[in-house]
Amino acid sequence: MSTVISRRSFLKCTGASAAVLGAASLLGGCKSNGNDTVVEVKVGDTVRNWNGLGVQLTSVFHLTQDPVQPAGYEYLGVRVTAVNRSKTESYAIGAQGIDAINEAYPVPPLENVDANFQAMAAATPDFTAVCDGQPAACCANISLYNANSQSFSDVESLPPQGSAYIVLMLMVPKDWKQLKVTYVPTFLEGKSLTFVMNASDVIRS
């Protein structure tokens, strides 16, 4: 699934706004896991500060505007709100080389969606997905909100004190029951966050 489609059918339908993204207060309560090595996060859970990151597993969506699926599969979008707590460090998160991927496999046309998704997944070293015990294709990218232009842009790192969406795209069997996405930061050693989602968590329009 391309980053173009992710913004159109995902961020738009979730009502993304500057108020949501810019407010560090969104991540101001709930769990505070400090420097824990392994953290599990479910839909609605907030981790205020984990090794310099604040995250909230905000929502899971079925992508209704995606093109024809492989038989028996569907595309999901997962939105994670993230805040960089560091005052000096940028954090590389998700796919790298996004511009080159979108240039090689531009979307539209819809015929390029699968190739774009696979290239994005290959360029996402820090996220892996398991669906009902089986590996699932997954890609991720940062969508950074610009308050001046009131628009999103795809970037490869979260700037100091920055807030953004981490947008994950996944291809899963239509009859899936539980999905786990594990994030292992490239800038930390031996640390992981696992996002746990059930089929009942998915918002379907």
Domains in the chain: ranges and CATH: 3-203 (2.60.40.1240)
d(CA 201, CA 184): 23
d(CA 129, CA 178): 11
Which residues lie below 8 Å from residue 173, measured CB to CB, with a gap of 6+? 72, 73, 74, 131, 132
Q: Enumerate the β-bridge partners of residue 84.
A: 53
What is the length of the chain? 205
H/E stretch holding 26 reads none
The number of angstroms, rounded, from the C-alpha of 58 to the middle of its chain's C-alpha atoms is 10
> What does the pLDDT profile of the chain (205 residues) look like in tens digits?
434 444 444 444 444 443 344 444 444 555 656 677 788 999 999 898 899 999 999 999 987 655 546 778 888 999 999 999 999 999 999 999 999 999 999 988 878 888 888 999 999 999 999 999 999 999 999 998 777 777 788 899 999 998 899 999 999 999 999 999 999 999 888 899 999 999 999 988 7
